[in-house]
Amino acid sequence: MSRPKASLRAEQDDLRSRMRDRGMTHQEIAAEFARRYRFRPRAAHRHAFGWTLTQAADRINAYAAEHGLDPTGKAPMTEPKLSELENFPRSRVRRLMPQTLALLAGVYGTDVHTLLDLDDHDHLSPSDRLLLTSMGASAPAPAPSAPPSRALAGTPPLARSAADRSRDRPARGPAFDLVTWPVLAVGQHEPVEERLRHVRDQPRSVDLVTIALLRQRVEDLDAQYDRTPPTELLPEAGQLLTLVSYLRSQTPTMRLRRELLTAEAEAAILMGQLVWDASQRRDHRQAHTYLDRAAAAGRELRNPIAEGLALLRSTIVALHGERAPQTALDLARRCMAVTEGSSDVLAGLAALHAAEAYAMQRDTAECEQLLGHAEHLLGRTDAADEASYLYSPRHIPRMAGSCYLFLGQPRTAEELLGHAYSHLHNPAKADAIVLGNLALAQIRQGKPDEAAHAFSQALDVVTRTRGGGGITMAFTISRELGPWRHVPAVRDACDRLLDVMAPPVPTTP
């Protein structure tokens, strides 16, 4: 995101200072920034403090760690993610979750409702709206004079007068304690764990708020999938799927059954991914079992997005696990047919995988035709597409590079793959595949030193994410580098693979 011009920053600083000097509250400053500069509510509250995206992300991560919301210290908020949250629903963020809003409200010292406008409400699910209705005021705002630096990120606000606090206190809803997030605030304020324990014992007590919390937890795990070893996520994902399925069998009303069936489809898709990834892309049968279950739920719901996403994941398993291009092609075509008119993103991604299936069959003409069709579909993607969060501009060069590698054109593949991965300071599992394919393209052109460098970058990603596809790719590269083992860079990279895959040595007490 481009930074505002110096003159604009100076104007905003002057406005902020004048409003503070006149005793105006943070809420009033944010409202004026939203009106004058047409900021969305979340951006307006950040600018009301004068924080950059980096400074705000630092404070959010520090706040989360301070309140036990980030026990592993992974600092998940980044500048791009915060920018997308501020621009929802016109961004790649799939869902503006109540948990995220509560975290932002705690940092900005405001009420969750002041961080939403009509456009946001129009794109919230009914269960999320119900949960947000039960949430009220948060902690007071941080002191405006505190400098937004890393060292002071998350520092508790200075004490303020009762008059100041009364001006900042939102008038809406009961108090909401972020320290015990997530909560159910339907007059009880009981932690989620207690609520879920209760519905296990009394399944007919399940309601829309409980279902919203279950879906939110599934989405939390899904958000962690790309940068977390699958074995860390599998146990909880399996428990959630089992609980959702059990509750659906016991629920008395059709409305609740439909909501639970939606949650079941989402949890089954996640389980299909996790099982396949944890098995290093070997357990195709179990992955298909979960994904078929999700597709069936989508059909029952008459939800083309849920069914299409399950079919897309099944296509990937058939393509890169079973190495069955014709099966993958059939699944991709079904996905395109199901999602036609509902999601250009899912249809476009299915077309990319269909092109890859043709490439595996060495059919250049059909492959390139589908690559063009996919580019057309993905080029008209907008925020109204429910699956827009799945799409990245890197998809096309990444998949096209893979296609040309299968077609025996490594030079073209290298050109496409060279810029198809994300920044390696925060890599995703797919980056290991991209870098692996780049290394293979360079090997097949007789470039061992360049291939060793790409291989080492892929191992960096594998070390951090433990993605099954990356691990499988690493061994493929190591085998193809065999003729160049005498090259020092190649030898070092191949030796490092053994270190990456070796189990950790237990430390002596």
DSSP string, 25-94: -HHHHHHHHHHHH---HHHHHHHHHT--HHHHHHHHHHHHHHTTS-TT------HHHHHHHHHTTSSS-S
Residue 73: is its pLDDT beyond 70?
Answer: no
Segment 17-23 shows an average pLDDT of: 86
Measured CA distances, 235 to 134, 182, 224, 261 (Å): 30, 20, 14, 20
* Predicted pLDDT of residue 182: 40
Asked if the structure places residue 405 within a domain, the reply is: no
Number of domains within the chain = 3
Segment 474-481 shows an average pLDDT of: 82
Return the closest-CA partner of residue 316 out of 278, 358, 273, 360.
273
Measured CA distances, 494 to 11, 76, 151, 216, 436 (Å): 56, 31, 40, 41, 13
Residue of higher predicted confidence among 504 and 433: 433
Residues 124 and 214 in one domain: no
pLDDT band at 324 (very low <50, low <70, confident <90, very high): very high
Asked if the structure places residue 417 within a domain, the reply is: yes
* Predicted pLDDT of residue 403: 92
Q: Which CATH number fits the domain that encloses residue 449?
A: 1.25.40
Residue of higher predicted confidence among 191 and 155: 191
Peptide bond before 89: cis, by omega within 30 degrees of 0?
Answer: yes
Query: Tokens at residue 80, please?
Result: 């791009």
Return the closest-CA partner of residue 360 out of 391, 390, 332.
332
Judged by average pLDDT, the poorest of 125-129, 183-187, 317-321 is 183-187
Angle formed at CA 463 by CA 462 and CA 468, multiple of 5 degrees: 35
Residue of higher predicted confidence among 133 and 18: 18
Asked if the structure places residue 27 within a domain, the reply is: yes
Give me the domain span that covers residue 216: 192-302
Most confident of 19-23, 99-103, 300-304: 300-304
Segment 446-465 shows an average pLDDT of: 83
Asked if the structure places residue 365 within a domain, the reply is: no
* Predicted pLDDT of residue 242: 92
pLDDT band at 163 (very low <50, low <70, confident <90, very high): very low
pLDDT tens for 208-220 read 888 888 888 888 8
* Predicted pLDDT of residue 280: 80
Asked if the structure places residue 115 within a domain, the reply is: yes
Asked if the structure places residue 332 within a domain, the reply is: no
Of 302, 323, 351, the last residue of a domain is 302
Segment 147-158 shows an average pLDDT of: 37
Return the closest-CA partner of residue 494 out of 509, 508, 507, 482.
482
pLDDT band at 185 (very low <50, low <70, confident <90, very high): very low
Percent of the chain at pLDDT > 70 equals: 81
Asked if the structure places residue 484 within a domain, the reply is: yes
Residue of higher predicted confidence among 499 and 462: 462
pLDDT band at 24 (very low <50, low <70, confident <90, very high): confident
Residue of higher predicted confidence among 80 and 119: 119
Residues 135 and 214 in one domain: no
pLDDT band at 427 (very low <50, low <70, confident <90, very high): low
Peptide bond before 182: cis, by omega within 30 degrees of 0?
Answer: yes
Residue of higher predicted confidence among 179 and 228: 228
pLDDT band at 150 (very low <50, low <70, confident <90, very high): very low
* Predicted pLDDT of residue 426: 62
Of 254, 286, 302, the last residue of a domain is 302
Measured CA distances, 93 to 42, 80, 133, 371 (Å): 14, 11, 21, 25
191 φ/ψ angles, rounded to the nearest 5 degrees? -60, 155
pLDDT band at 134 (very low <50, low <70, confident <90, very high): low
Residue 235: is its pLDDT beyond 60?
Answer: yes
Q: What is the mean pLDDT of the chain?
A: 79
Residue 141: is its pLDDT beyond 80?
Answer: no
* Predicted pLDDT of residue 135: 60
Q: Cα separation of 107 and 96, whole Å?
A: 17
pLDDT tens for 26-55 read 888 999 998 888 888 999 999 999 888 888
Return the closest-CA partner of residue 182 out of 225, 214, 150.
214
Mention every residue, 6+ apart, whose C-beta is less than 8 A from residue 215.
Answer: 127, 262, 263, 266
Q: Is the pTM of this model over 0.95?
A: no
Residues 135 and 17 in one domain: yes
Asked if the structure places residue 283 within a domain, the reply is: yes
